[in-house]
Amino acid sequence: MKIAVRPGLWIASAVAVAILLTLGTWQVKRLQWKTELIGTVEARVEAAPIPLPEVLGREDAEIAYQPVRAVGGFPSAKTAHVPGTYDGMPGAYAFQAMRLDEPEGAVLVINRGFVPNDQRAEFYPLPDAEAMTGLIRPYRETGGLAGAFAPPDRPEDGVFHARDPQRLAAYLAPGETGEVLPFILDSTLPTELPRGGTTRVTFTNNHLGYAITWYGLAAGLFAVTLLTSRKR
């Protein structure tokens, strides 16, 4: 097969193929990173809880899903609800504010767990425990279209649509002056209402499929360029 010399076509094709190969290689690196992250988090979740002060000041990636023990008390039973589902059941997650013994006076927002819609209440019994145990969930503000079209919070009804510790703490503990910790603690206490231990520890890992797609497009583009350049 003879190939016609078409500089413009081959230059454009080479640039496009290089970009596609770069994207494929980036996805391979993302695959390695995600696989390591999933392994780290799965091992971390199974570990015994450590004292909360030991994780303060660490990066989010180092503390996400870390089991901890927080010692303190609940200044009130005031509750905020964040709509959500659990096992396909519609409902909400109940949040309350805890005043910590260490750091002294700091405020930690607790996700007590899931409540079905037909069992939602203004208040729930406070946990009968000397310390809260749970998994740390760092807060990341939702951006892009998801953030732009998110429903507005309704503080007058105690309903919020973002798990922002600052906004939740301002509603739950308006009289507290201590530092609000920049993450949520998902309770792992075996309470029935709200139902504790409902954190989903699942991750999507589609990077291999993305890498194959980019590499496949690069191979397809090269093949099309080669066929187009044949001399008849």
Give the pLDDT of the chain (232 residues) as one tens digit per residue: 565 666 777 788 888 889 988 998 988 888 887 787 777 777 787 788 889 999 888 888 888 889 999 998 888 889 999 999 988 889 999 999 999 988 888 999 999 999 999 898 888 888 876 778 999 998 877 644 445 567 788 888 888 888 899 999 999 988 777 889 999 999 988 888 899 888 877 767 788 888 889 888 888 888 887 777 665 5
Query: Could you tell me the pTM of the whole model?
Result: 0.72
71, β-bridge pairs: 131
Token pair for 54? 């030991």
Dihedral pair phi/psi, residue 41, rounded to 5°: -65, -40
147: Cβ contacts below 8 Å, ≥ 6 apart: 141
Residue 51 structure tokens: 């004292």
Domain edges within the chain: 7-39+206-228, 66-187
Query: Cα 182 vs. chain centroid, distance in angstroms?
Result: 14
